[in-house]
Amino acid sequence: MSASQRMNAGETIDSVKLYNDLCYDLSSLQDLACRGAWRSILDKVAQARSRSLLSKPHEHLVYLSYNAIALTKLRRFSEAVAELDLVEKGLDNIYRYETYPHHYPNCHGSMAPFVLRWLHAELPARLGKRQETLDRFYMLLEFIKEKLSKNLADEARQVWRKRECLVINSIISHHLSYKEFGVCLELMKDLVNRELSPVARAVLMSKLGYVQMQFGDLEGAKGTFGVIEGIVREMKGEIEIEMANLVNRNKALVFMVEKDYASAVREYQTCIDRDGEDVVAINNKALCLMYMRDLSDSIKVMENALERIPTIALNETFVVNLCSMYELAYVNHSDIKKTLGTWIARVAPDDFDTSVFLEATSRSPWIERGLAYHYDAVFSQVEIAVRS
């Protein structure tokens, strides 16, 4: 074993010990979540509860959090809501460290993982109660601002700032889905004026440029993307490739809106040459080739990505676009999609939505999905770590 392998092995052992010191067998839950094994998480939580393996209050909350996340990922939203109902009213009174001094001497504050608060706000929208979700997110934002108004240690302040950005971005996403662009612009401009890291500012301004495009302000979007280029030029280090690709994808998006698909393909290819796992660039390059009536090459691009980087490329948007291309290109597209579906059933995570095969048949949302996919990858809801 090489020195680097020994170091990685040591770090892995230390991480497992750290997780398990925090909560009973937490490392296993984290590993299952990273692999998308959400049904296994449900089984593990049920087993731990039935065998009374959770001895401390915070352990019950952590396991409940993973259970609620798994139910949400599996689109069992009513069950996820029922799970949260078990603790909702006790997050800020019952589940406090000072309530259990024998377990947590000299500790104070809420032990509730932030993901529970986020899910409490998000889940109503999954059940058709969109306004309730917005109301809860705005209330959660006020809760965070109240925390930030206090005299916090620098590390704690950074954590709450990240949570604030997460909640604001969640609010923006819900307004965007209903094309309420004016509200989105105000929220994003407010965020941009904060003390954000260069990466966060570049990512947020990309979203701002997208909203400007929705308003029909292409020149304004170009100006915003130009500011991002300046930010990225000043950045160095490991993040440089990711941010350089963000710049090229923004340029490509402008070309797509202008229907200059050949130029967009060149920009996306630059991204792929720089990072062969940039699935956003791969997806959108294939879409551009399709718009150029080169279905054969567009399908090859998609299929090659699924074969080469299946764990990264295998998502619903990617598969819908590929299935739509099959329908245009082949008479026997049903058989081809069936073969693809069989393969996906073997390798996909538990939460993969197989209804996308029906969706591809019912409509052809290439442009909408192609453009949305660019932003979904950059601004998608963060998988929130289960931590207090």
Q: Which amino acid, residue 242?
A: E
Start-end of H helices in the chain: 3-22, 26-34, 38-50, 57-73, 77-85, 114-126, 130-148, 154-177, 181-192, 198-214, 218-233, 240-257, 261-274, 279-291, 295-308, 310-313, 316-329, 333-347, 356-362, 366-379
The pLDDT of residue 386: 35
CB 319 within 8 A of CB 340: yes
Can you state the angle between helices 77-85 and 57-73, rounded to 10 degrees?
A: 160
The pLDDT of residue 359: 62
Q: Where do the domains of the chain lie?
A: 1-111
216 confidence band (pLDDT: 50, 70, 90): confident
33-84, pLDDT tens digit by residue? 999 999 999 999 999 999 999 999 999 999 999 999 999 999 999 999 999 9
289-340, pLDDT tens digit by residue? 999 999 999 999 999 999 999 989 998 889 999 999 999 999 999 999 999 9
Using CB atoms within 10 Å of the CB of residue 313, give its burial: 0 to 12 exposed, 13 to 18 middle, 19+ buried: buried
The pLDDT of residue 197: 83
Give the contacts of 336 (CB within 8 A, at least 6 positions apart).
Answer: 326, 330
